Amino acid sequence: MNKYIRSTRKLVKISVTGFVIIIFLFGLLSFSESRDFKLVKNMEVFSNLFRELTFYYVDEPDPEELIKTGINAMLKTLDPYTVYISEKDMNNFKFTTTGNYGGVGSLIRKKDDYILITNVYKGFPADKAGIRAGDLIIKVDETSIKGKSSNEVSDLLKGSPGSKVKISVKRFGHKDPLSFVLERKEINISNIPYYGMLNEETGYIRLSNFRTDAAREMNAALNDLKKNYGASSLIIDLRGNPGGLLMEAVDICNLFVVKGEEIVKTKGKVKEYEYSYIAEKQAVDKEIPLVIMVDRGSASASEIVAGAMQDLDRAIILGERTYGKGLVQTTRPLGYNNQLKVTTAKYYIPSGRCIQAVDYSNRNKDGSVGHIPDSLISEFKTKNGRTVYDGGGILPDIITKQEEPGLITYNLFAKDIFFDFATKYSYEKPEIALPQEYEFSEDDFQLFMDYVFECDFDYESRACNEYKSLVEIVKQDKLYDDNEELFLQLKEILQHDIKTELQNHREEINRFLSSEIVGRYYYQAGSIEKSLASDRDVEEAIKILSDKDTYDSLLMLSLRKEKIAPGTN
């Protein structure tokens, strides 16, 4: 009887969770008779199943969790971007669109049983209190965070601006934990972590997101570079930028294209979500030569900017084919502060191309566009008549290939050797030269090699992995025993010498370490500034911008000028 009463009470809770969704669906949709019957039938089956589980299942399931699981499983049958946002996830969702939250201003990730501070934002509470990258959080207030996830600890660190939080950390070189009391502030993370001059003529802006104010920040950086530093050409770096707000992308394009130019349009099933986005303001600078850098991580709003500027022949696009996300999401209220982020349309840039990859399954491991058969690719024309293609993402005008790091470098990253060495280095050296002047010296590299061996670092080379596969095949074919001595000799030859491998990959190791170390002293901006000095894509972009004839010919600008009669605009 008690179990029956508890189950009945839970059914009341269900009416506030699950059935509100059913009622919501009935209220929104109109159907043909056949679809209406299928909907009613399946909704009835669903509610009956839910009731039976609640009454008769041997344990007591949580109704909210059952509903959430069902919702998420249902949405997984659609595209990857249609998702359910529960009430407790709303703060994180708001941060992705605004960049604002109440907290301490740090980045964290899981390390073993605890949480590692990987970065602190300059001038925010964590930085001012003296918390540093490399600190290991062991308690928040009086709560031990052992075994907790990054999301759980992030929720503990966030809170209303003005409230206080106590953080206890274990720090390199300190035997006992250190404690800090911080006053939470409104944290507003800039969309532009760094901008500056690469030489006397070329300005550079790294845009990492399209959250609220991205266009305003871009405008401010552009004006500063032109007025105070004399920038006469510009590189906009969208590599790794996952996108964000559509209107910020439109407004950023509007900084560089003439008023009235169409930048992007959306097309969907519901007319409400079909719209043409036009440059509504006068351009800030419609002449400055532009190179936009992209890679496989450039998605959504990044692809709108890169694609529109390519189609309008306003910028040269350099790098790798972009991610291929051309779907528009809109949030719809579900009641009780829950939201549905649902795909409502597709993006089409000025040439008529759709950014979206032709299917969701044909992807690389990182999620970016995989191989698209030629039969599924169509040609389009830019404003000046250049040929461009669809099929997913934006194919750059100049394609570059990012060098894959050596296997030893990858393993040094994966095992936190770079990160931990930078922590040790920064505590042993109170200061270093400015980012553009700092060099990782011969003595520094020797210190690093010593540290690698202190950590008992080891890894398996590609050759060793291939050797193991070969041995397995040979054993299956019964050929190993008769040739064991030869295979053992081969194994000895393939055994890698870590010291030699470190020396062989010294150049790329120095690049990664220099950037990591500089970031400990000069924050994210310093790390970016240092990395640019050895960035081959940046070198290529500067080369293009310094050669006006090459730049004009790539965009067919001379042809366009011939078509425009004297005295016309």
What is the distance between the alpha carbons of residues 496 and 475, in angstroms, rounded to a whole number? Answer: 24
Could you give the 3-state DSSP secondary structure of residue 305?
helix
Residue of 438, 417, 426 lying closest to 505 (CA atoms): 417
Q: Encoding tokens for residue 224?
A: 């500063």
**Which runs of consecutive H residues, i.e. helices, occur in 379-428?**
407-414, 417-428
Is 311 in the active site?
A: yes
Question: Where are the alpha helices (H) located in 124-187, listed in sequence order?
Answer: 125-129, 150-157
CB burial of 239-272 (b: ≥16 within 10 Å; e: otherwise) equals: bebbbbbbebbbbbbbbbbeeebbbbbbebeeee
Three-state secondary structure call for residue 417: helix
* Single-letter amino acid, residue 19: F
Cα 314 from Cα 65, distance rounded (Å): 50
Q: Please return the burial class of 32, using the count of CB atoms within 10 Å of its CB with bins 0-12, 13-18 and 19+.
A: exposed
Under a CB-based contact definition with an 8 Å cutoff, are residues 332 and 342 in contact?
yes
Q: Which of 311, 390, 397, 537 is catalytic?
A: 311
Round to whole Å and give the CA distance between 314 and 222. 16
Q: Tell me which of 168, 300, 426, 531 is the catalytic residue.
A: 300
Q: Quick check: helix, strand or coil at residue 325?
A: coil
195 forms beta bridges with 205
Residue identified by tokens 């999620």 is 367
Place of tokens 């007591």: 60
Q: CB-based contacts of 508: which residues, under 8 Å, 6+ apart? A: 403, 405, 406, 409
Rg (CA), the chain: 28
Catalytic residue among 139, 148, 158, 325: 325
Please say whether the dihedral angle defined by the alpha carbons of residues 280, 282, 283 and 284, taken in this order, is positive or negative: negative
CA 301 to chain centre: 12
Q: How far is CA 398 from CA 223, 319, 348, 370, in A?
A: 27, 6, 22, 19
Length of the chain measured in residues? 569
d(CA 333, CA 246): 20
Q: Is position 34 annotated as part of the catalytic site?
A: no
Q: Give the three-class secondary structure for 473.
A: helix
Q: Minimal CA–CA distance to 155: which of 98, 188, 85, 108?
A: 108
* Antiparallel, parallel or unpaired: β 290-294 and 233-237: parallel
Structure tokens at 60: 């007591």
Residue 339 to residue 330: CA distance in whole angstroms: 10
Per the annotation, the verdict on 176 as an active-site residue is: no
Burial of 198 (C-beta count, 10 Å sphere; 0-12/13-18/19+): buried
What distance lies between CA 518 and its chain's CA centroid? 22
Residues labelled as active-site residues: 300, 311, 325
